[in-house]
């Protein structure tokens, strides 16, 4: 397949098919509707499962059921819809089932708006579900990267028996870019799904149970230790980031997704003004690329966190920076997307933007 021009949401849907998705369960919400629309046609045509559920709550629990059955399963939604899915996500993480959740962020809080936003960073990395759990969160900045991540996400989910979230915003979902679906995904030796609840007939002599209930606190603590050990493995193996213009930066921007794209343009503009600005672009938000911050030169004047929010990833930047440099913040929110010039101005007025 040669490069094709595709809308982000549709490309993500096709990438899911390339990634081997067996079933999709979801509920309509703007700005991600092209994902279920595309899949409704193409999954059913290939004998796979597509089901429009009665609610997001129901959709994520259908995902739970199908993931428990050992199939490759996904859902997609947007901010208020992801909020409704949090209960099920916590259960799926607790029961150690693999699945993929696409979150196409829009402005919030509440019903908010339908324009692009990154105000669900907390929702993705801290979760609204209960308990100590983590999703593996990818934040692609282009449709190509979204496609590559999406294709790989089912392998990652299966490998770690953990939900994976592909986090984009409405801009990536709605825009069109040329994209190539043929980049190979990383080979992983995937463990057999001998835990699947698909009937004893498929694993004689053993009952399989998908469960998150441990009434004995000692056992529940052990379960949490086991999950934590897995999250530590994920941190070790799966952390991804890109360093942009990092030769000798005077300032460093930290931005992901759509905001990183805008910052790329700003960095070029600043270069013309004689100001060298580097960028740490996290590709995984969990695990967060803390180690990338070790590469910031000591003499750098500061770190500017840029987000389409009021400052959520900022927390992780402050943790990763650990007091080494001044940290400033620039954000637009509610669906407002800045021009690169605003980033340029923010760098030039860095001292006014210092948070800590």
Q: Which of 30, 33, 40, 198 binds other proteins (CB under 8 A)?
A: 198
Q: Kindly state the smallest distance separating residue 85's Cβ from other proteins, in Å.
A: 11
76 binds other proteins (CB under 8 A): no
- DSSP helix/strand/coil, 51: strand
Q: Which of 11, 62, 150, 259 binds other proteins (CB under 8 A)?
A: 62
Quote the tokens at residue 203. 């694993």
DSSP state of 55: S
Q: Is 1 exposed, middle or buried (0-12, 13-18, 19+ CB in 10 A)?
A: exposed
Nearer to other proteins, 52 or 178 (CB): 52
164 φ, ψ (degrees, to nearest 5): -115, 135
Q: Which of 9, 61, 142, 162 binds other proteins (CB under 8 A)?
A: 61
63 binds other proteins (CB under 8 A): yes
352 binds other proteins (CB under 8 A): no
Nearer to other proteins, 211 or 237 (CB): 211
Report the distance separating Cα 151 and Cα 298, nearest Å.
38
Is the omega angle on the peptide bond into residue 31 within 30 degrees of 0, that is, cis?
yes
- Please give the size of the binding site for other proteins, defined by CB under 8 A: 39
69 binds other proteins (CB under 8 A): yes
Report the distance separating Cα 142 and Cα 179, nearest Å.
9
207 binds other proteins (CB under 8 A): yes
The answer to whether 54 touches 187, Cβ cutoff 8 Å, is: no
Nearer to other proteins, 206 or 298 (CB): 206
87 binds other proteins (CB under 8 A): yes
211 binds other proteins (CB under 8 A): yes
Considering only CA atoms, which of 262, 34, 277, 238 is closest in space to residue 142? 262
74 binds other proteins (CB under 8 A): no
Q: Which of 27, 91, 159, 293 binds other proteins (CB under 8 A)?
A: 91
Report the distance separating Cα 214 and Cα 223, nearest Å.
8
Residue owning tokens 């650990």: 322
Q: Kindly state the smallest distance separating residue 97's Cβ from other proteins, in Å.
A: 9
Mark the segment that binds other proteins (CB under 8 A) among 86-94, 218-226, 243-251, 255-263.
Answer: 86-94
55 binds other proteins (CB under 8 A): yes
Report the distance separating Cα 157 and Cα 301, nearest Å.
39
Quote the tokens at residue 97. 């089932």
53 binds other proteins (CB under 8 A): yes
44 binds other proteins (CB under 8 A): no
Count other C-beta atoms under 10 Å from residue 289's C-beta.
Answer: 22
309 binds other proteins (CB under 8 A): no
Sequence-separated (6 or more) residues with CB below 8 Å from residue 339: 262
Contacts with other proteins by CB under 8 A lie at 22-23, 25, 49, 51, 53-55, 57-59, 61-69, 71, 73, 87-88, 91, 95, 197-201, 204, 207-213
């Amino acid at each position: 397949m040669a490069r094709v021009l595709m809308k982000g949401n549709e490309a993500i849907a096709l990438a899911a098919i390339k990634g081997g998705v067996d079933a999709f369960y979801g509920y309509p919400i703007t700005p991600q509707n092209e994902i279920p629309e595309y899949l409704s046609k193409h999954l059913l045509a290939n004998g796979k499962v597509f089901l429009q559920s009665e609610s997001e709550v129901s959709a994520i629990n259908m995902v739970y059921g199908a993931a428990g059955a050992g199939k490759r399963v996904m859902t997609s939604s947007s901010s208020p819809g992801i909020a409704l899915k949090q209960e099920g996500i916590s259960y799926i993480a607790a029961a150690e089932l693999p699945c993929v959740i696409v979150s196409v962020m829009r402005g919030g809080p509440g019903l908010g708006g339908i324009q692009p936003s990154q105000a669900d960073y907390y929702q993705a990395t801290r979760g609204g579900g209960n308990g100590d759990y983590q999703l593996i969160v990818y934040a692609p900045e282009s449709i190509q990267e979204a496609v590559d991540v999406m294709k790989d996400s089912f392998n990652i989910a299966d490998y770690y028996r953990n939900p994976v979230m592909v986090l984009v915003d409405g801009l990536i979902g709605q825009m069109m870019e040329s994209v190539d679906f043929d980049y190979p995904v990383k080979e992983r030796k995937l463990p057999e799904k001998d835990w699947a609840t698909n009937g004893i007939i498929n694993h004689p002599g053993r009952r399989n149970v998908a469960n998150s209930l441990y009434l004995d606190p000692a056992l529940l603590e052990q379960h949490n230790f086991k999950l934590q050990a897995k999250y530590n493995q994920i941190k070790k193996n799966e952390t991804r980031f890109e360093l942009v213009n990092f030769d000798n930066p005077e300032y460093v921007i930290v931005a992901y997704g759509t905001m990183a794209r805008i910052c790329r343009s700003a960095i070029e503009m600043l270069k013309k003004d004689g100001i060298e600005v580097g960028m740490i672009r996290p590709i995984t938000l969990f695990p967060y690329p803390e180690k990338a911050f070790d590469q910031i030169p000591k003499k750098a004047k500061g770190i500017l966190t840029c987000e389409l929010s009021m400052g959520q990833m900022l927390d992780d930047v402050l943790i990763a920076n650990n007091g080494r440099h001044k940290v400033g913040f620039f954000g637009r929110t509610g669906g407002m997307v800045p021009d690169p010039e605003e980033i340029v101005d923010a760098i030039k007025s860095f001292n006014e933007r210092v948070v800590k």
